[in-house]
Chains A and B, each alone.
Chain A
């Protein structure tokens, strides 16, 4: 059974960097059939996909244009985890953040999700 355990601060000051970690158990961050995604949810924006990382002989990343200049998603194979960094945050980045496993075969789906981390951007 795949489990995704998220951690990271719940409060970030404006202009600073939001950093979250998602520890993977039951699968490998280097899996050739999965991708590791970050998604956020807020009342104003609904569910918003932020980006993903995946390994297919080398590492790839895809990012949403809305955050592309500010976002980095990195795998850590030694700890079997994936991290999210979002720079220069504003109150509009206040949201519930999720990591999710994407199975990339057969049209794709997010089949396992982390528990969610509520991040508030405020001074």
Chain B
């Protein structure tokens, strides 16, 4: 199975901060990577797919980059509604796997 690791596991930030989360794959996955965020009691919600394509309706402050084994999710200016847990997920190979998550909390 392809393992995904995320760093950091936890991030404390303020409204307006620029935030970057990294996802690393145990083997190359081309651009078969998606990013989601999840708020308590809710299902994950798609932010980015194909490593860098913004899902329709998602604010432009979210961006994704990378290919192969290293990927980043950037929030250019953190908003109050962005405090959540963020997951990366790969579609390159079965079984589809998720990263362990990065929790973004209010400083």
Task: Give the total of B residues in contact with A, Cβ under 8 Å.
Answer: 25
> Which residue on chain A has the smallest CB distance to residue B43?
A113
Taking CB atoms, residues of chain A closer than 8 Å to B101 are: 46-47
A108 lies within 8 A of B49 (CB) = yes
Task: Give the total of A residues in contact with B, Cβ under 8 Å.
Answer: 22
B34 lies within 8 A of A110 (CB) = yes
A109 lies within 8 A of B91 (CB) = yes
A107 lies within 8 A of B89 (CB) = no
- Nearest-neighbour CB distance to chain B for A107, whole angstroms, equals 4
Q: Chain A 18-46 against B: per-residue CB contact (8 Å), 1 yes, 0 no?
A: 00000000000000000001000000001
A64 lies within 8 A of B95 (CB) = yes
Identify the stretch in B10-18, B19-27, B50-58, B68-76 within 8 Å (CB) of chain A at 4 or more residues: B50-58
Taking CB atoms, residues of chain A closer than 8 Å to B55 are: 109, 111
Q: Does B102 contact A (CB under 8 A)?
A: no
Q: Does A116 contact B (CB under 8 A)?
A: yes
- Nearest-neighbour CB distance to chain A for B74, whole angstroms, equals 18
B44 lies within 8 A of A108 (CB) = no
Which residues of chain A have a CB within 8 Å of any CB of chain B?
37, 46-49, 62, 64-66, 98, 100, 102, 106-111, 113-116
Which residues of chain B have a CB within 8 Å of any CB of chain A?
30-34, 36, 43-46, 49-51, 53, 55, 87, 89, 91, 94-98, 100-101
